[in-house]
Amino acid sequence: MARTWRFSVAGNFSRFLINGKQFDAKRIDAQPRLGTTERWVLLNETSEWHPIHVHQDDFRVRSVNGTRFPVRSDQDTVPLPPAVDGIPGRVELNMPFQDYSGDFVLHCHILDHEDKGMMAQIHVRRK
């Protein structure tokens, strides 16, 4: 399965969004199944870099802005490049859900961005 995460800003940089939404602890943004691997596409529609961090499960980066990424090991954080000339920065990765079921978050690791809403909640379901 492929899943796209769009990172953007609104309100003169007062709101930082994922898929057009600010974080809400009462909302689940994705519900993958334990034992699966998803292809994630991260798109940065903003003019600045975002270090994207995933709690609980590590991932494998496949490409950055269309250039194959030389995989050396699994990661939990990846720098998401900014948009250039209206073209979003892009990272593709394989996100395996092998070891952990339950809730965790995906967020920008810049505290100000996270605090202003650039975070999503994921619930990994058992088979």
Residues 76-109: pLDDT tens digits? 999 999 999 999 999 999 999 998 999 999 999 9
Instruction: Count structural domains, the chain.
Output: 1
CA dihedral sign, ordered 10, 106, 109, 50: negative
Banded pLDDT at 127 (limits 50, 70, 90)? confident
Q: What residues make up the domain containing 77?
A: 2-124
Residue 62 has pLDDT above 90, yes or no: yes
List of residues 6+ apart from 97 with CB closer than 8 A? 32, 33, 34, 35, 36, 37, 38, 57, 124
- pLDDT tens-digit profile of 6-23? 999 999 989 999 999 999
CATH number at 118 reads: 2.60.40.420
- Percent of the chain predicted with pLDDT > 90: 90
Both tokens of 60, joined, read: 């494998």
Specify the pLDDT at position 1: 85
DSSP calls for 36-97: EEEEEEEEE-SSS-EEEEESSS-BEEEEETTEEP---S-BSEEEEPPPBTTBPEEEEEEEEE
How many residues appear in the chain?
A: 127
